[in-house]
Amino acid sequence: MINAASKTTLIREVGIAHPTIAIPKHVAVIMDGNGRWAKRRSLPRFVGHQEGAKTLKEIIRCCKDWGIKILTVYAFSTENWNRPQGEIEFLMRLFKQLLVSELEEMQQEGVRIRFIGELNGLPDSLQAIANTAMLATQNNQAVILNVAINYGGRNEIVRACRQLAYDVKLGKIQPEEIEANLFEQYLDTCELSDPDLLIRTSGEMRLSNFLLWQLAYTEIYVTDTLWPDFKRVEFERAILAYQQRDRRFGKV
């Protein structure tokens, strides 16, 4: 449940959000601004990534408190391989470190860890740790932490089309049977509902190749706050904004 201090802070700073009304089931986050956060403080970029990891931990706990069942975070895109090699190597080490050091706490908090993207494109050691984390937490039910790593929305759709075409070639599916619900079964998120709310930090106004199919009717919340500064109050401000939206899904 939301603690009293959190409620007091939220009411004072952003208004009143309702803990049982219009709570999104699935929140997706583009965690942007780690590098800029560090630059503004004349710090190396890796410090921004470390602080961003701390923010993620806090937001996972927020989701549990609010009863949000799925949190999908954009951790590393297919385009991020174009970053400096030193930064890429640091991020890979950071992912491994977090999966190892936080696994026990994730277990205690009831967090199920899963991944979307092409895991086979990651270093072998990271793949092994990721698979261990998924297996160890597969029965947890408080929150699903869905990590998009080596992920791109276009890449996901192409991979889904390729597998669907292969199944048509094998005669498992007839072309006339193909429709949206069937296609979604080939996506990385086939076990999950579509996001209700997308949060993007750092003020950028684009999707950056994230969940292109799944975000068709998602409410979008953009904040100028950089990801390392996106703490509980900022998250609750996003929930309040979501509660004020009128979701019609094309209806009147």
Known catalytic residue: 65?
A: no
> Which of 146, 158, 170 is closest to 213 using CA atoms?
158
Contacts for 78 with CB less than 8 Å, ≥ 6 apart: 117, 118, 150, 151, 152, 155, 209
Beta strands 111-116; 219-222: pairing state:
unpaired
Could you please report the per-residue DSSP string of 214-225? TTTT-EEEE-SS
Catalytic residue among 3, 65, 80, 167: 80
Known catalytic residue: 32?
A: yes
One-letter amino acid for residue 163 of the chain: Q
Q: In Å, how far are 71, 176, 183, 230 from 55, measured between CA atoms?
A: 13, 46, 34, 7
C-beta of residue 228 within 8 angstroms of C-beta of residue 51: yes
C-beta of residue 151 within 8 angstroms of C-beta of residue 188: yes
Three-state DSSP class for residue 113: strand
> Which of 126, 135, 127 is closest to 106 using CA atoms?
135
Contacts for 175 with CB less than 8 Å, ≥ 6 apart: 168
User: CA–CA separation, 28 vs 200, rounded Å?
Assistant: 9
One-letter amino acid for residue 209 of the chain: N
Q: Tell me the catalytic residues.
A: 32, 80
